Amino acid sequence: MQLHTLGQNFFNTGGIAYLIATICYVIYLGNRTKTIGNVASGVTLLGVVAITIGLILRWVEAGLSHPPFTNLYEILLFFAWGIALVYLVVEFKYPIKIAGAFIMPIALAAMGIASLSPNKEIEPLVPALQSAWLHFHVACSTVAYAAFIVAFGFSILYLMKDKVRLEVFGLSVAIIGWFSMIITKTSILTEGVFRMQQMVREGGKLYPVYQPGTKIPAQIEIPGIGKFFLITFGIYLLAMLLHIVFLSMKERSISRYALWSLIVSFGVQSIALLLFLLKIKEIPEVSLQSNPYETTMFFISWGATLIYLIMHFTYRPLLEALPDKKLLDKLSYKTIMVAFPLMTLVIITGAIWANYAWGTYWSWDPKETWSLITWLVYALYLHARITIGWHGRRTAYISIVGFAVVVFTFLGVNIVLSGLHSYAGG
């Protein structure tokens, strides 16, 4: 068996392991059965081992001077590997398996986007990547971003333990659901339809189809799905507005309506996603790989709503099962203390590498700019905690803002913005 095929098999095994682990962690969030928790940890470890072997095989296949993190597909795999590894290290030291329900879905999402990449082949290194700094720079950034993600999970648990109103979490879920529509470039909102990019398979690989004589992607409408998604996002919008009104007025009946809005949106979206999967099987010109980011966002909003509903209906026993909030605050702080120096090294090594590749240490490239913004957000976190004496909710909120910035820096910049780092978007 060729190394490439063998490596892909290990990546597939890792992805399946992450899926099973995520399901087990979410179940554990609801019932705290020790066996389920142990299975979740064990399967996560299996996934990390499988992806480790896959990355090593890919590195051997490409050559030692060609590390397995030179395009978006490989970086997503490396990122998913880093999140799970950092989380397992913390979990083995502290009894905090509940955090897996918030952290592993992010690793699973990274694996999902990677698996939907139409091109998984090893490509020759572009000149900008032919540097020894590449190894150190990307390795530091992956561990730093992964640690920030883990800190985010602890911050969420802290807010739960500190009895932040569940409606705040419901509002966050409604915003995620609404945002998943915005990423479809609003065709659902403006036209009530959902389109996917047309693909053609040649030599075992998928290639996008463009309109004749242009670089505009050819698209195919998925019949009936757009209206289902439009209804779903309309209900998410209603839930968002109801949560905002409740948090302003504190009227309990409004909170109940907001909860029912999320329950209904979850049900409608479940039907929509099932029909979506069935429909695209009937259309040979499209697949999940046609729109990997939109597809992943749909499942993220569905999963976030499911996790919120489990939290809501098991809230009191869940609070009792959570560790002391001082421990959660401490874990978030310690994780960021590990990640922040690494993020500093990311910026320093990136500047040295940029000077080698492009003749300038800093060019305000979108990736550079957002890396600096990430560094500043977490510098604010540490300054507020160490110098001003903030802790608890205030620093947890900064950590959550940092998480949003990390996600955009890591993935959003490559998708939305163009610049010197565009090579990573392939």
pLDDT digits (tens, 9 = 90+) for 257-268: 999 999 999 999
Residue range 186-227, pLDDT digits in tens = 567 777 788 888 888 776 667 778 888 777 778 888 888 888
**149/145 Cα distance (integer angstroms):** 6
Place of tokens 């597939």: 12
Which one, of 205, 239, 371, 370, lies nearest residue 312 by Cα?
239
Place of tokens 């309309």: 234
**322/374 Cα distance (integer angstroms):** 29
State yes or no: pLDDT of 416 exceeds 70: no
Q: Are 112 and 314 in contact (CB under 8 A)?
A: no
Mean of pLDDT values over 99-118 = 86
Q: Lowest-pLDDT range, 164-168, 184-188, 290-294?
A: 184-188
Instruction: State both tokens at 310.
Output: 């489990």
**Number of alpha carbons in the 13 Å side-chain half-sphere of residue 68:** 24
Which one has a higher pLDDT value, 268 or 290?
268
Instruction: State both tokens at 219.
Output: 């698209």
State yes or no: pLDDT of 329 exceeds 80: yes
pLDDT for 125: 66
Residues in a beta bridge with 201: 206
Instruction: State both tokens at 174.
Output: 């409604």
**39/42 Cα distance (integer angstroms):** 5
Instruction: State both tokens at 186.
Output: 């609003």
**184/195 Cα distance (integer angstroms):** 9
Q: For residue 348, what are the contacts with CB-CB under 8 A and spacing of at least 6? A: none
Q: Lowest-pLDDT range, 179-188, 229-238, 400-409?
A: 179-188
**426/424 Cα distance (integer angstroms):** 6
Which one, of 9, 41, 7, lies nearest residue 22 by Cα?
41
State yes or no: pLDDT of 93 exceeds 90: no
State yes or no: pLDDT of 425 exceeds 50: no
Which one, of 87, 78, 71, lies nearest residue 55 by Cα?
78
Provide long-range contacts, Cβ within 8 A and 24+ apart, for 384-387: 385/333
**275/257 Cα distance (integer angstroms):** 27
Mean of pLDDT values over 103-112 = 90
pLDDT band of 426, cuts 50, 70, 90? very low
Helix (H, G, I), strand (E, B) or coil at 18: helix
Q: Lowest-pLDDT range, 16-20, 92-96, 395-399?
A: 92-96
Mean of pLDDT values over 288-305 = 84
State yes or no: pLDDT of 31 exceeds 90: no
Cα dist from 197 to 239, 280, 284, whole Å: 31, 12, 12
pLDDT band of 2, cuts 50, 70, 90? confident
**50/258 Cα distance (integer angstroms):** 42
**135/220 Cα distance (integer angstroms):** 40
Helix (H, G, I), strand (E, B) or coil at 217: strand
State yes or no: pLDDT of 130 exceeds 70: no
Angle subtended at Cα 364 by Cα 360 and Cα 366, rounded to the nearest 5 degrees: 125
Question: Amino acid letter at 42?
Answer: G
Looking at every residue in the chain, the average pLDDT score rounds to 84
Place of tokens 């757009």: 226
Q: 184 — phi, psi (to 5°)?
A: -85, 10
Which one has a higher pLDDT value, 244 or 205?
244
State yes or no: pLDDT of 40 exceeds 90: yes
pLDDT for 203: 66
pLDDT band of 417, cuts 50, 70, 90? low
**22/40 Cα distance (integer angstroms):** 7
State yes or no: pLDDT of 84 exceeds 90: yes
Q: 205 — phi, psi (to 5°)?
A: -120, 150
Mean of pLDDT values over 133-142 = 79
Question: Amino acid letter at 186?
Answer: T
Q: What percentage of the chain reaches a pLDDT higher than 70?
A: 90
State the DSSP code for 388: I
The model's pTM is: 0.85
State yes or no: pLDDT of 419 exceeds 70: no
Across 82-91, 117-126, 364-373, the highest mean pLDDT is recorded for: 82-91
Instruction: State both tokens at 336.
Output: 């960021």
Instruction: State both tokens at 258.
Output: 């907001």
Residue range 338-385, pLDDT digits in tens = 999 999 998 888 888 777 767 777 777 787 888 889 999 999 999 999
Query: Cα dihedral angle (162, 163, 164, 170), rounded to 10 degrees?
Result: 130
State yes or no: pLDDT of 183 exceeds 80: no
